[in-house]
Amino acid sequence: MRSYSYVTGAAAALMMLASAAAPPAVADDDGGKGFTIQDERIRESSGLAASRAHPGVYWTHNDQDKARIFAVDGKTGKTVATITFTGVGVPRDMEAISVGSDGRIYIGDIGDNFKGRWDHVWIYSLPEPETLRNATVRATQYTVKYADGPRDAEALMIHPKTGRAYIASKVENGGKLYEGPAKLSPTGTNVFKPVGKVPWVTDGAFSPDGEQLVLRSYFSARGYAWKDGRLGKDYRVRVPIQGQSESVTYTADGSALLFGSEGGQSDVERVAVEGGDGKGSGKGGASADGDSDGDGIVDRNGFTNAILALGALALLFLGVRKLLRK
C-alpha cells in the first residue's frame, strides 16, 4: 500500500548511511539468491507466497488492481502465469497472499488506508492450478469482520497444518494477531478474534512445518515460536534494506525467507534460515543471541535503524535548506 511511502522511500537510501552502526542486514548462509520481478504490470507487489504445486514459483499481486494474481519464476523473475479470478466483487486493497495445505491460494483484500473505514473486508480463495498458464478461474469470497471493530491490516497467514486463517493488524505502536474460525464460511460473516499482540506488521508467513511465524514491518522483522495456536517466545529476524518493504514468505522447503517490496522491477531478497534443515525447521535469520522482547512489541534493532534513518533524513533536509538560502 502507499501510506508512509514518503518516509520509506527516503529512509531506504539513507539507512545505508547507518549501516556502519547497525548489524548486517542480510545473512545468506546457504548461497541462495533472490530475484527481480520483471513483469511491468507488477508495480505494487504487496504479498508473496511460495507455491506448493510448483517448486521455485512464487505467487504475488498488486494491492490496487483487478482480481488477478501472478506466478513468478524464482530463478528468472519472469511471470509464468497470470490467473484472473471471478465470482467476487471489485477488490479494494489486496495486501496479502498465502497458500494453504488444501491446495488453495488465499488472497487477503484486507487493507484499509482509512484505518477503520470499512466495516468488513474479504478473503478470496481459488485452487492452485496444476499447470502454469494464463487462465480464468472462479474464486470463493469470504466476508470478514473483527470482533473488536474495523482496522487496517496487511498480513494474512494460513497455517500449513490446521488450515486456519490469521490476520495481523497494522498499527504503528503495536497491533493484534486475529484468529479466524476453524473453517472459513462462504456464507454469513467470519469473525476474527484477537489472540495476541504483535508489532507494526506489513506481512507475515508461517514456516512450512507450522512451528514458526515471521512478521515483518518496513524496517524490521520478528519471529515467534508457534505452539497450540498461540504466539510463543519471539526472536529478532534480520531483514534486507528495501524501499517499501511489503512482503515475506518462506521457501517451500523452509530453508530460507524471501523478502519483497513494492515498485517497478522490485527485488525479492533471500535470507537463509538459521538452523534450517530443509524441512521447515529453524528460525528465519534469527539473531545469534536469541534476543527477545517478550510480546515483540518493540524490535530494538529495527527501531534503531528507523531512528538512524530519520535522523539522516532530518540532516539532509537541513542541509538542503541551508544551500537554498545561499
CB within 8 A of 30, min separation 6: which ones? 255, 256, 272, 276
Which of 299, 273, 269, 275 is closest to 285 using CA atoms? 273
User: Please, what is the average pLDDT of the chain?
Assistant: 82
Alpha-carbon Rg for the chain, nearest whole angstrom, is 19
* Beta strand spans in 200-321 (E): 203-206, 212-216, 221-227, 230-237, 245-250, 256-261, 267-274, 283-284
How many CA atoms within 13 Å lie on the side-chain side of 313?
15
What is the spatial distance between Cα 66 and Cα 91, in angstroms, rounded to a whole number? 7
**pLDDT recorded at residue 296:** 35
| For residue 17, pLDDT beyond 60 | no
**pLDDT recorded at residue 279:** 57
- Cβ burial of 141 (10 Å; 0-12, 13-18, 19+) is middle
SS3 314: helix
Q: If you write DSSP's letter for every residue of 65-121 in order, what string do you get?
A: SSSEEEEEETTT--EEEEEEEESS---S---EEEE-TTSEEEEEE---TTSS--S-E
pLDDT digit string (tens) for 218-236?
889 999 999 999 999 999 9
pLDDT digit string (tens) for 59-75?
999 999 999 999 999 99
Which of 198, 163, 160 is closest to 177 using CA atoms? 198
pLDDT, greater one: 263 or 138: 138
Q: If you write DSSP's letter for every residue of 223-252 in order, what string do you get?
A: EEEEETTEEEEEEEE-----SSEEEEEE-T
Contact predicate 107/124, CB 8 Å: yes
Find where cell 506466478 sits: 71
pLDDT, greater one: 324 or 241: 241
pLDDT digit string (tens) for 115-138?
788 999 999 999 999 999 999 999
User: Which has the minimum average pLDDT: 174-178, 204-208, 242-246?
Assistant: 242-246
pLDDT digit string (tens) for 80-120?
999 999 999 999 999 999 999 999 999 999 999 887 889 99
**pLDDT recorded at residue 231:** 98
Total-model pTM: 0.80
**pLDDT recorded at residue 79:** 98
| For residue 314, pLDDT beyond 60 | no
Distance spanning both ends of the chain, measured CA to CA: 38
Instruction: Determine the Cα angle at 286 with ends 192 and 48, to 5°.
Output: 50
pLDDT digit string (tens) for 138-168?
999 999 999 999 999 999 999 999 999 999 9
Q: What are the Cα distances from residue 296, in Å, to 159, 175, 231?
A: 20, 11, 10
User: Which has the minimum average pLDDT: 18-27, 80-89, 294-303?
Assistant: 18-27
**pLDDT recorded at residue 285:** 61
Predicted confidence band at 244 (pLDDT cuts at 50, 70, 90)? Answer: confident
What is the spatial distance between Cα 116 and Cα 320, in angstroms, rounded to a whole number? 37
The strand pair at 189-198 and 140-146 is best described as: parallel
**pLDDT recorded at residue 136:** 98
pLDDT, greater one: 111 or 313: 111
What is the spatial distance between Cα 227 and Cα 262, in angstroms, rounded to a whole number? 32
Q: What are the Cα distances from residue 64, in Å, to 92, 136, 137, 245, 264?
A: 7, 19, 20, 16, 14
What is the spatial distance between Cα 162 and Cα 103, in angstroms, rounded to a whole number? 13
